[in-house]
Amino acid sequence: MGERILELRGVSKFFPGIRALERVDFDLETGEIHALVGENGAGKSTLIKIITGVHQPDEGEIFWRGQKVTIPNPTVASRYQIAAVYQQPASFPHLSITENIFLGHPFLRPFSRRLDWKRMHDRARELLKSLGSDLDPITPVGTLSTAQKQIVEIAKALSINAQILIMDEPTAALTKREAEELYRIMRELKSQGTAIIFISHRFEDIYEVADRVTVLRDGKKVGTWMVKDISERDLVRAMVGREITQLFPKAWVTPGRELLRVEGLSKTGYFSNVSFTLHAGEILGVSGLVGSGRTEVAHALFGIAPADRGKIFVEGKEVTIRSPLDAIACGIGYLPEDRLQQGLFLPMSINDNITIAILDSLTRRGWLQPEREYEVSSKMLELLKIKAPSIFSLVSSLSGGNQQKVVVAKLLAARLRILILDEPTHGIDVGAKAAIHQIMSDLAQEGFGIIMISSEMPEILGMSDRILVMCEGRVSGILTREEATQEKIMEMAVNVNWAKLQKKEKVGVDYA
């Protein structure tokens, strides 16, 4: 390892209501591969975005080769020879590989200012070759596989002589062989002195290529270790090892009759062979990292993006769900993760939002009955303790927590039996969170069946009767409330290769 090329000191970033990063120190040396790990929302992306100039830190300092710098935008970042390769590269799909590499800094002929295609194509071919790829540089990037796109992104980084290369989950969408090819390229770059920051959920990757590993949790740094000095078990513990301080009010309810049974649900490219049951009075937590297929399963159950194969039974009867309308007819409701985009009509009143899905039942001879509408929404306002001057207030004027309650009210008004809640407390303050949890508990007691997708470990552990863990489109297991621990869930979610791990530990014992 060489000199320190990048250092972050006490960097913090606050978003409304959230501390994304809190006084994080981080350093990077030339010729090292530094892994960055943590749960969803641990602050990895925010850290990367600060380094690449997408976000500005609210506190703290950045040093580049020992000198204090500010990185106000990505263009300046590339001047400091910082480049990033993302899991799904943000490229120009219609344009050729050459153009994707050189658009920001094309070769021009000296006098005519005409683009020098020949030199650019030749240089692109050279760069690709140095990465072991014989792709034709005139190929449009939109026709490449993800692995090929990443190679193009790396070539782009090389074209600006990047000394700091950030790779955000580069192996998530790659086959084993493609991943190995990527490791080879990373080692090669490292031997030439490039410093690489490497984000990955796959422990296999980390132990394969990384020199050091930094763990973030809830926006704070847990620590930095040499990879060879920390076992996978300790790494998992570092990622999840928090004390659970919040109280969750889910009361025990004896599960009633079966409301929902899913058998072998599959959707090509998203998830496969998902099976589970849900009973009245039960909260089924669904855990998994981003990209594990959690939300896609919810979308299939609610008919937004129907599954290709598999069976869905509601109260014992097989049903076909091809659209949200079908799902609602079966008594299934969905609270979307992105409430602003998919859950609310911001410029409309609370009343209009709550009754929008049930207008049919509020009409007489085709005419709406406003009094009945007001009756329904007033009841909901009271029931869910929505803090608003009246049912005619605009939803856009409410706080995040109260907006979320309006979405829940909309679901409840529709007389459903099965509720799918996708990140129900994401981005709302602690008080509103407790209120939503109380509502969920009450609903379970009334006999609703609830599927709760959540990235927050304490919420999953505190609210769920059973926990379904997903990894890479598959169900890696279902845990009961008693069995579940943070470590077990995280292990199932990151798909640690335990067979291999145990072998490794044995070797360690032998040496000892």
Nearer to other proteins, 153 or 373 (CB): 153
Nearer to other proteins, 176 or 364 (CB): 176
Shortest separation between residue 269's beta carbon and other proteins, angstroms: 3
**Tokens 């939803």 appear where?**
395
- Burial grade of 403 (CB within 10 A; 0-12, 13-18, 19 or more): buried
Evaluate whether 154 touches 184 at the Cβ level (below 8 Å).
Answer: no
Helix, strand, or coil (residue 488): helix
Nearer to other proteins, 138 or 348 (CB): 138
* Residue whose C-alpha is closest to residue 39's, from 491, 498, 497, 490: 490
Shortest separation between residue 70's beta carbon and other proteins, angstroms: 17
Nearer to other proteins, 53 or 281 (CB): 53
Residue 350 CB neighbour total at 10 angstroms = 28
* Residue whose C-alpha is closest to residue 384's, from 369, 404, 414: 404
CA–CA separation, 386 and 509 (whole Å): 59
Nearer to other proteins, 277 or 497 (CB): 497
Task: Name the token pair of 299.
Answer: 């979308």
CA–CA separation, 492 and 136 (whole Å): 40
Q: Contact positions toward other proteins, by CB under 8 A?
A: 74-75, 90-96, 98-99, 103-104, 106, 108, 113-115, 117-118, 120-121, 138-140, 142-143, 145-146, 173-176, 178, 268-270, 272, 472-474
Shortest separation between residue 189's beta carbon and other proteins, angstroms: 22
Shortest separation between residue 79's beta carbon and other proteins, angstroms: 10
Nearer to other proteins, 89 or 336 (CB): 89
Shortest separation between residue 471's beta carbon and other proteins, angstroms: 10
Type and span of the H or E element at 64: strand 59-64
What are the Cα distances from residue 7, in Å, to 276, 383, 488? Answer: 47, 52, 34
Nearer to other proteins, 77 or 419 (CB): 77
Shortest separation between residue 74's beta carbon and other proteins, angstroms: 5
Shortest separation between residue 31's beta carbon and other proteins, angstroms: 27
Nearer to other proteins, 120 or 478 (CB): 120
Q: Residue-wise over 276-295: b if at least 16 C-beta within 10 A, else e?
A: bbbbbbbbbbbbbbebbbbb
Residue 483 CB neighbour total at 10 angstroms = 12
Shortest separation between residue 68's beta carbon and other proteins, angstroms: 24
Nearer to other proteins, 106 or 447 (CB): 106
Shortest separation between residue 167's beta carbon and other proteins, angstroms: 17
Q: In terms of DSSP bridges, do strands 309-314 and 258-267 run parallel, antiparallel, or are they unpaired?
A: antiparallel
CA dihedral defined by 338, 341, 344, 347, rounded to 10 degrees? 140
CA–CA separation, 112 and 76 (whole Å): 28
